[in-house]
Structure 1
């Protein structure tokens, strides 16, 4: 991982083997890592079930918080591609926070932003999450 990109707040891709060694014990039965990214100590991991955000805390990073967005909750995705000079790419993921929205008739949405270095090819992640969002919207809105 490039140290300048890390200090700039940009995620760098990490091998699935490396992610499995470090975070494998936190995967659910049948869950498999599809890809993942690291920012100094923190990480974002995409699996076949969810997106996992790992926030390592404290001076040593021994303490960590794991946040999950289930793939079936993703309802929208936006991308901002990098500009010509010094800009990074951003990916905004909008997801349902309330799993009971069908019962209550209301939606509670939240959004998270991921930043990638300028030369990173963000299009495959955007397409993947966009197709997922379309399928989720069709499933959620089916009567």
Structure 2
């Protein structure tokens, strides 16, 4: 997967070491990036301590909303795969204290399976 996949809404795996350097000011002492995925301009980052969701906003993407979710706050998650006529896959993550789940849309099943597997590894 590469840049084209990211533009089409498919998640592409990012280099964890590169993100480790980029997020130095955000990460706690001893925290390390273990897996990261990009969906168009947004990112889903798994560290050894929490899930970080980066939502790039605006035309340039310079403005960012960064949501930090400790794994212990993830109550459950679900995935909906693509079908014959519904080509979007959907991931929902329910976080303790929030009524509505976080929702991310994907264009293929492989991406959503990879991220769901990573969620299972870290949140369960």
Q: TM-score under structure 1 normalisation?
A: 0.68
Match of 1:26, SS state, is coil
Aligned residue-pair number? 123
CA RMSD of aligned residues (A): 2.7
Tell me whether 1:120 sits opposite 2:110 in the alignment: yes
TM-fit CA distance, 1:127: 4.3
Question: Which stretch shows the higher mean deviation, 51-60 or 70-79?
Answer: 51-60
Structure 2: segments with no counterpart, 5+ residues: none
Q: Against the structure 1 CA distance between its residues 31 and 131, is the aligned structure 2 distance closer, same or farther, given a 3 Å change threshold?
A: closer
Q: TM-score under structure 2 normalisation?
A: 0.76
Contact 2:39–2:106 (8 Å) recurs in 1: no
Greater helix proportion: 1
Structure 1: segments with no counterpart, 5+ residues: 98-107, 136-143
Task: State the distance in 1 between where 2:114 and 2:57 align.
Answer: 30
